[in-house]
Chains A and B, each alone.
Chain A
């Protein structure tokens, strides 16, 4: 039987994973993966500032603060890359470390304050889903729902923005506004996860589900749905793991689980998986090898005067690369050669194919 707290935590992690997966898909496709890292770090001072201004720990207030500085951080990145020769990666590094430094500075200031109710802000560093409250979940649901709704409403625009922004521009749409809008939604998605996952690791939750989903499909709709599914599942599994082991912080648990999902997808997806590539490569290598053996047998037979001359395995091995026997067995299965331990020779079908292959390799037959 699920108790109330666990149910709350699970739904929270489900929501944050699903929203992060959805917006992460667009970030990954637009080569903005690491922007999430910068945004999440830049959100930390917002939490502290919001608390310092209101002395309230209501999630809506804190997340609004996080949203504000996360957004300012992205604008800074834009300002730096637009007005100087500093490149994107350096701009992100500056915003990430400086905003985070400001956040730490303010958090330690808050800890020195004489007021009560200051504890709990440091959960924004590494995240702690087990402290999620009913009001936290309400805010997460509201923000997450709104974000997903906007993605659905602007689906066509965002799709074009990801794949062909020039075309979008030629249609008379303002790409800069849409760009800022989509990035704002990414900021919201990140901010939702801060309490449970923490600023340090939130970026992984944006990237990993999306990259995992990318391995399974070339279709944007399916990719986004799959990324949301992976993110949600990873969130739930991570929350379960962290609540069943003492002292296991939620953020790292979710990151490890989602990374495993990503690794499995990279290796075993039937669409782009590395395992499939390897198997196909092996098959091709074997086929090429068998054909080499076939041509070698053909040329050797011709030099003996008859295309159906029978050769011993030893003499064939002398003129073929790799194992002649393995190649011959494969050819036998295809009905191109016949033979056994006593010797091997071409079948009529084999001779025909070998002649064509030899022509292909040597030009006109010698």
Chain B
């Protein structure tokens, strides 16, 4: 495998692992816990490093993930004092833990081989240099193995507890009534978030972890309202972001993690604008269609109202309709054109008259209202 392919593979595995847990963060409205956890695990990594002295040890991942869970516990302890609101509690805990982590790194820099820049940016470009060797045989990049195992853990958890997760996410009250503890599910999820964040941290840095956990699931959320499709679309969007982001970074010789985060955002923006059912463009088109249809309906009702009466000669004139309805000239022209093309009215010498279809429509509209 070429290094490029290995980088893409690692990034894709990270993307899928992140979007699985991220989907539930987004749906449970605790997205920013990913931000909190992905920062505070830095302290966990440093502390665990002091103990095991090896950055690649699996104990380091578990130790660091424990700090992620501690972040969640501390945040909830603060909330439970009832002196501090939820959002402020999140914002108090993780900056402190992150700061302590940074201070430890800078004060014991000789002992800890963690580069401060790498904390945020990640070193995806160097990931292929770090090989995993068993009995003298090179079996691939270390990060790929670590993230592969974490992805597997996430997948197994998702498949085993799919129903429970779904229930606890969408109807916590029913989950309690049926005997599932939302607390256990919440903490299991947070543990997975922490483990995933630690594994990904080494490869891609803390900010890309947040971007990959939140943005692709949010993009998928714009496109579907079914949980299984959201999970699938989220994973696909994540992988697509990884691949396109790598291409972008390669093209400009810039930060890979930064480019990938950027692409997750671009894809989100595209979905926001172009989602077929709820996109902003679709919404605007729908709004326009409805507006013009309503205007056409009002026009035929107006014509029917005065049909066969003495004032018809005046009331059926286009300029009169325009003043009557308070429309602009442009909008009036459009409405008339639209009504003619619907065969509701005919136009002759700036006068409008109903067709039989138009008469039917007007009566129908009046019954409806």
Contact with B along A95-106 (1 / 0, CB 8 A): 011111111111
- Which one, A87, A105, A211, A252, contacts B103 given CB within 8 A? A252
Contact in complex: A92, B32 (CB < 8 Å): yes
A334 CB within 8 Å of chain B: no
A301 CB within 8 Å of chain B: no
Contact in complex: B92, A97 (CB < 8 Å): no
A141 CB within 8 Å of chain B: no
B49 CB within 8 Å of chain A: no
Contact in complex: A93, B35 (CB < 8 Å): yes
- Which one, A33, A103, A112, contacts B85 given CB within 8 A? A33
List residues of A (134-149) whose CB comes within 8 Å of B's CBs.
none
B254 contacts across to A, CB distance below 8 A:
105-106, 108-109, 112
Docked pose: A96 CA to B257 CA in angstroms: 14
A98 contacts across to B, CB distance below 8 A:
211, 215, 261-262, 264-265, 268
- Which one, B31, B88, B106, contacts A33 given CB within 8 A? B88
A168 CB within 8 Å of chain B: no
Number of A-B contacts (CB under 8 A): 197
A108 to chain B, nearest CB (A): 4
B17 CB within 8 Å of chain A: no
Q: When A84-B278, A211-B88 are in contact, do A97 and B99 touch as well, CB less than 8 Å?
A: no
- Which one, A104, A106, A204, A251, contacts B120 given CB within 8 A? A104
Contact with B along A193-234 (1 / 0, CB 8 A): 000000011011011101100110000000000000000000
Contact in complex: A201, B98 (CB < 8 Å): yes
The residue among A105, A109, A255 with the most chain B CB atoms within 10 A of its own CB is A105
- Which one, A93, A106, A248, contacts B32 given CB within 8 A? A93
B207 contacts across to A, CB distance below 8 A:
41, 97, 100-101, 104
Contact in complex: A108, B31 (CB < 8 Å): no
Docked pose: A89 CA to B218 CA in angstroms: 11
A12 to chain B, nearest CB (A): 19
Docked pose: A106 CA to B252 CA in angstroms: 10
The residue among B29, B87, B222, B249 with the most chain A CB atoms within 10 A of its own CB is B87
Show the binding face of B for A, using Cβ within 8 Å: 26, 29-32, 34-35, 39, 81, 83-85, 87-88, 90-92, 95-96, 98-100, 102-103, 106-107, 109, 116-117, 120-121, 207-208, 210-211, 213-215, 218, 221-222, 248-249, 252-255, 257-262, 264-265, 268, 272, 278, 280, 283
